[in-house]
Structure 1
Amino acid sequence: MKILLPIDGSQLSLEAVRFAIRLAREGLQTSFVLANVQEPATLYEVMLAHDAEVLERVKGAAGEHLLQGAEALLAEAGIEYEREVLSGDPAHALVDIIERFECDAVVMGARGLGALSGALVGSVSQALMRASPVPVTIVRPHAAPEAEADETEAETPSS
């Protein structure tokens, strides 16, 4: 099985990598594809840089940098992976990667937006869930220990 791990540099995307590593440690025979998709250059960026090739190199270097945390986690776990940095619409580029690398599934971090914000703005995870030809697993953030303790105290009847 080959799993795509979209990485945006956030802690949520690294949490998804940790989840995928846990799956592999629990016996899932898998390899991974780390991917970062850089948004296309804006007109302002093109006007400022005057050179589309320079912008592509800068965005490519930024994508490579964002993959480093995930690469370190996978290397530490001794798990095989491939990598890809693209530019374009994130959901469409990720579908291209799924098809090109023949991925069987996607594991990615949740954006963490509320329902209304997600509906208005949209998110890569929502768009990919609609467009993906393979199953997509969304890894939600863990609740902070203080929040869990507060919830437990709130549920416990006081004497």
Structure 2
Amino acid sequence: MKILLPIDGSTASLEAIHHATQLVQAGLQASFVLANVQAPANFYELVSTPDAASLEEVSQAAGAHALAQAQALMQGAGLDFESEVASGDPGNVLVEIAERYGCDMVIMQTGGAGELRQALLGSVSHSVVHGAHVPVTLVNTRAR
């Protein structure tokens, strides 16, 4: 089984890693895809940056930084994983990543962003639940 674990860099998103680790300890045989989706450049960034390659470098570096702690947890648990940093609308891009890697399921957190931010930007987990063609397990970090 291959499982997508979206990571946004927040401590809350690491709850999905802990949940996945518990499943493996309970006997599930799985490999994982860690994914971070960076928002596309805004108008100011496009106008003020000399070239698109610089924007891409910054985006990739931010994504790699967001994935670092998750990768360390996966390595520490001895779990097999791949990683990807992408750019675009997070909900749609995560669904595309799940399809491209042939994932059988998605495990992701809810409540990583603040209430106001979720209201303004929409819920990534909501987009993934409704867009994915595989089961999605939501780990509610607000319950803690």
Fold-level match, TM-score > 0.5?
yes
Note the 1:69-88 alignment, pairs <5 A: 69-88=69-88
Larger Rg: 1
Between the aligned partners of 1:129 and 1:41, the Cα distance in structure 2 is: 25
Matched, 1:96 2:96: yes
**1:25 corresponding residue in structure 2:** 25
Between the aligned partners of 1:78 and 1:72, the Cα distance in structure 2 is: 10
Q: Where does structure 1 lack aligned partners over 5 or more consecutive residues?
A: 145-159
Q: Normalized against structure 1, the TM-score is what?
A: 0.84
Percentage identity across aligned positions? 53
Question: Deviations for 1:67-101, whole angstroms, at most 9, x for unmatched residues?
Answer: 01110111000010001110111111111111110
Between the aligned partners of 1:111 and 1:131, the Cα distance in structure 2 is: 19
**1:140 corresponding residue in structure 2:** 140
Between the aligned partners of 1:73 and 1:130, the Cα distance in structure 2 is: 28
8 Å contact kept, 1:111–1:123: no
Runs of 4+ off more than 6 Å? none
8 Å contact kept, 2:111–2:142: no
**2:37 corresponding residue in structure 1:** 37
Provide the aligned C-alpha RMSD in A.
Answer: 1.8
Question: Deviations for 1:23-82, whole angstroms, at most 9, x for unmatched residues?
Answer: 011100101000000011011111111211100110001101110111011100001000
Q: Where does structure 2 lack aligned partners over 5 or more consecutive residues?
A: none
8 Å contact kept, 2:7–2:66: yes
The aligned length equals: 143
